[in-house]
A and B are shown apart, each in its own frame.
Chain A
Amino acid sequence: MAEMKTKARKKSAKKTNDPLSQHGISGELALDLMRDMLLYRRFEEKAEEAYAIGKIGGFCHLHIGQEAAAAGSIKPLRQDDYVMSAYREHTQALAKGVHPNAVMAELYGRKDGASGGKGGSMHIFDADCRFMGGHGIVGGQVPLATGIGWKIKYREEDTVSLVFMGDAAVNQGGFHEALNMAAVWHLPCIFVVENNEYGMGTAFSRVSRTAMATKSTPHGIPAHSVDGQDALATYAFFRDLADEVRQGAGPQFVDLQTYRFRGHSMSDPVSGTYRSVEEVENAKVERDPIALLRDVLMSADLLDQQRLEEMDAEARQISAEAADFADASPLPGPEALYRNVWAEINPNGRLFFDRRPESGEVG
């Protein structure tokens, strides 16, 4: 529990500010957020462990350090709102209601995974939860989420389409094309940059002459900067913003400032050539979203050490169960290989060309 062993921060300042009432958040809701964030942290640690022993393969991008960004932005949404993301999306899927077992089984590449084991870490989908993936090409999901906004407007619904991207995505052409269209057609889209300061190993300041909060300005879309390590502030912000968008405010752009405590992916050490050990360690002490919320809750006498430990044990338990579930879930059967390539197998003509008997296309 390295990140959480940071010493409790000074309580006096917190009490006078009373962040809970400042943000209109009940003690119960704040405890729920704490519970959610503990789960995200323990879930990702479990994934890290499973990766280390070869249970998870391929690319795997952890969200550790960015828990408040997920909980604070997704938890205020309605169940029928849409959330789409890039490839650092395990905890966002959890936040949107995808079962931890289904997420972990997907990381394990198992039959009971959210995407039947076919997507993996980067492609978690759950249509029922309106969690729209899990996309692996930087910025590629931004036009897609704009299309979901288009559908909401087309059908005159009152939902919103919220899409996450990393800070590097704003340098993609598709980002600007999508924002322009969302503005022109006044779509109910919330574009959220999870700004953890680095696109893989490249500091944002090295690849942009202008600040993040200016990126939507040319398109006429309001920009907002939010401390994504502050769960309560993030929650309150997105609660209000989603309401505004629902009521017709049009597209919004959010610079959600956060920090990742792990490497870009499992092959990247926590601190590498592009950032120092001190920088990461300082962030863990100063900007750990879980520790920050813990301090607020303890200051408000809503949480004590014992309750915290119980909640943490519960988070570990759910994560362990998810790993057990994933481990017990069978690999997808060989029949899954050719399943769902096509939504419609036309009665005439060949669709597969590999001449393998199992594709059913041997002439």
Chain B
Amino acid sequence: MAVMTYREALNAALREEMERDPDVFLMGEEVAEYDGAYKVSKGLLEEFGDKRVVDSPISELGFTGLGVGAAMAGLRPVIEFMTFNFAFLAIDQVINSAAKMYYMSEGQFPMPIVFRGPTGAALQLSAQHSQACETYYSHAPGCKVVTPGTPADAKGLLKAAIRDNDPVAFMEGELLYNFKGEVPDDDDFVIPLGVADLKHEGGDVSIVTHGKMIHVALQAAQKLEKDGIHADVLDLRTIRPLDMDAILQSVKKTNRVVYLEEGWPYAGTGAQIVSMIQEEAFDDLDAPVIRVTQADVPMPYAKNLEMLAKPSANHVIEAVNKVLYR
């Protein structure tokens, strides 16, 4: 096991996949000469040249569409969004072109393309730069959604996403790039899409979550341990495909569930999960499932208000207490 940052893990995954397959190229704003806005692509220009590591103009719709067209013609583009906040300009190409092409051509044009970049809030970036975007993408059949929360998951899942033959929205965490963790030394370490990971084991309650919220959940779980409450922290890792079996297994064990996500509540990922749990594991539940989300407001700038808006370990603990009727 090597210890590396989430950023380095993504960088390693990109490098390995570009070495493995000459059809893989990286395009986006500042990915080449600047080494990436968050330095994820550091050194790749030097290694692979400007044909495969390409600085784009600030034209999200344009370069996303270009990537989709290149994928139609047989390449395997990795399109970087400086953040997914900017990808709203491109979502027509992701949903209307990439996610539907294979279906509406009756399988003539597979779409092996990865759209990647950070999603969710960082610190005091205010409303337009602080939002979790995964449900916009998981809503559409034809688009896979991956949300790694650790360096190992970042590496293994990015390699799987690049090799997948469908469009993948690969959503990273801005605050995770410096986060360090162990990554297996295996030089072809791939984590298959659709496999959740139990990040903390306990029998009393299930905290199900994804992306960087796993760290909030783990923090809550540790505090709960002191109170003698043992929580499962189940990291979905991929939203679509979704490892529902792992969720059901945890629910059967604990009978109590809290869903934690960074985004807004209305039609959020948690809404989907709760719907499925009540439909498929109603008899296993001892309490209604509770969701913990961002406050249902645009993200404010002021430090104190931002703190109030974000889901915290305390919010999770409160929710756990509720489902335990404590």
Give the B-binding residues of A (Cβ under 8 A): 82, 84, 115-119, 123, 125-127, 132-137, 140, 142-152, 154, 173-174, 177-178, 180-181, 184, 336, 339-344, 346-353, 355, 363
Contacts and interface: CB of A to CB of B under 8 A. Distances in A.
Given A344-B165, A346-B193, A143 B142 contact: no
A348 B193 contact: yes
B279 to A, nearest CB: 7
A351 B102 contact: no
Nearest to B142: A341
Given A123-B105, A147-B71, A346 B65 contact: no
A342 B72 contact: no
A119 B106 contact: yes
Given A177-B61, A181-B63, A147 B73 contact: yes
Contacts of A119: 104-106
Contacts of B68: 143-144, 147
B69 A147 contact: yes
A343 B56 contact: no
B96 A118 contact: no
B61 A353 contact: no
Contact of B65 (A147, A180, A336): A147
Interface string B235-258: 000101111110010000000000
Contacts of A133: 101, 104-105
Contact of B61 (A82, A147, A174): A174
Given A341-B141, A343-B111, A116 B59 contact: no
A140 B65 contact: yes
B36 interface: no
Contacts of B165: 343-344
A348 B71 contact: no
A118 B101 CA distance: 11
Contact of B73 (A134, A148, A339, A351): A148
B4 interface: no
Given A127-B105, A143-B61, A355-B279, A349 B244 contact: yes
Nearest to B54: A185
Contact of A340 (B66, B77, B102): B102
Q: Chain B CB within 10 Å — which of A146, A173, A344, A347 has the most?
A: A344
Interface of B: 25, 51, 56-57, 59, 61-75, 77, 92-93, 96-97, 101-112, 141-142, 144, 164-166, 192-195, 238, 240-245, 248, 272, 276, 279-280
A279 B67 CA distance: 42
Contacts of B272: 353
A341 B110 CA distance: 10
B61 A342 contact: no
B72 A116 contact: no
B73 A82 contact: yes
B103 A340 contact: yes
Given A145-B69, A151-B74, A125 B109 contact: yes
Given A173-B61, A363-B244, A144 B69 contact: yes
A352 B195 contact: no
A144 B65 contact: yes
A154 B49 CA distance: 12
B111 A348 contact: no
Given A135-B97, A174-B61, A184-B57, A348 B107 contact: no
A170 to B, nearest CB: 14
Given A151-B73, A177-B59, A125 B141 contact: no
Contacts of A355: 279
Contacts of B77: 147
A118 B103 CA distance: 7
A336 B62 CA distance: 32
B274 to A, nearest CB: 13
A349 B166 contact: no
Nearest to A179: B62
A178 B75 CA distance: 18
A348 B196 CA distance: 9
A150 B64 CA distance: 12
Nearest to B192: A348
Contacts of A154: 25, 51, 70, 75
Contacts of B105: 115, 118-119, 123, 125, 127, 133
B99 to A, nearest CB: 9
Contacts of B109: 125, 127, 132
B240 A351 contact: yes
A348 B142 CA distance: 16
A174 B62 contact: yes
Nearest to A127: B108
B92 A352 contact: no
Given A133-B101, A350-B243, 12 more contacts: A118-B106, A119-B104, A123-B104, A143-B93, A144-B68, A147-B73, A177-B65, A336-B106, A348-B192, A348-B243, A349-B240, A353-B272
B70 A178 contact: no
- Name the 7 nearest CB pairs between A and B, nearest first: A147-B69, A349-B194, A143-B65, A177-B62, A349-B241, A116-B106, A348-B194
26 contacts: A118-B103, A118-B104, A125-B106, A127-B108, A127-B109, A143-B69, A144-B93, A146-B65, A147-B69, A147-B72, A151-B73, A152-B73, A154-B75, A174-B65, A177-B57, A177-B61, A340-B102, A344-B165, A346-B193, A348-B195, A349-B193, A349-B195, A349-B242, A352-B141, A353-B276, A363-B276
